[in-house]
Amino acid sequence: TANYLPVWQDGDTLINSILYQSGANLGANTTSPNGTLHVHTATAGSVTAHGNANDLIIENSANAGLSILSPSTNIGMIYFGDESDNDVGQINYSHVTNAMTLWTNANLALTIDSNGGIVQERDSAAEFYGINLRRSASGGTNADIWANDGGGLVLGNDSSSNDLVINTNGNVSVGGQAS
């Protein structure tokens, strides 16, 4: 049948496979692929893949998933790249440490360890090392939480103010005044 990729049923009989070509798109179990490769188990309803993310589509009427399987001594990885750097962003899962890491700008940015602990990574003391809570993406009210060079905890309204500092010895200062 037209557009189906044929497979051999036996030594001399061709039959239709589950693969269907529609222009430059290929569908598995669908004759209407929404993108480059559309793996269709069952319909998810009246939804189509977004044009910015339609190179691989996995569709089902219930849970749909993607599995990255690797041995217990290795890492499962998703890489994001561009013409300047083929690993500028990464999501990695280490089966050795059972930790997940997130890389941005080709640097380790965040680790979720096997106990669910979150560690923000940094390369140098000069970099902001903390969490910025922002009221809106365009700015607005900020609240920052970060570790100071002495290992204490600092809360402020930007990465340079020390509105509340808790040092490793338990001393607390508020607005620069020890209490």
Look up residue 10 and give its DSSP letter: E
Q: Is 125 left (phi over 0), alpha (psi -120 to 50) or beta?
A: alpha
The pTM assigned to this predicted structure is 0.70
pLDDT for the residue numbered 145? 73
pLDDT for the residue numbered 162? 65
pLDDT for the residue numbered 63? 95
Give the residue ranges of the chain where pLDDT is below 70.
122-143, 146, 148-151, 157-162, 176-179
Contact of 47 with 54, CB cutoff 8 Å: no
Where do the H-state alpha helices sit in the chain?
none
Look up residue 37 and give its DSSP letter: E
pLDDT for the residue numbered 51? 92
CA nearest 109: which of 88, 94, 86, 139? Answer: 88
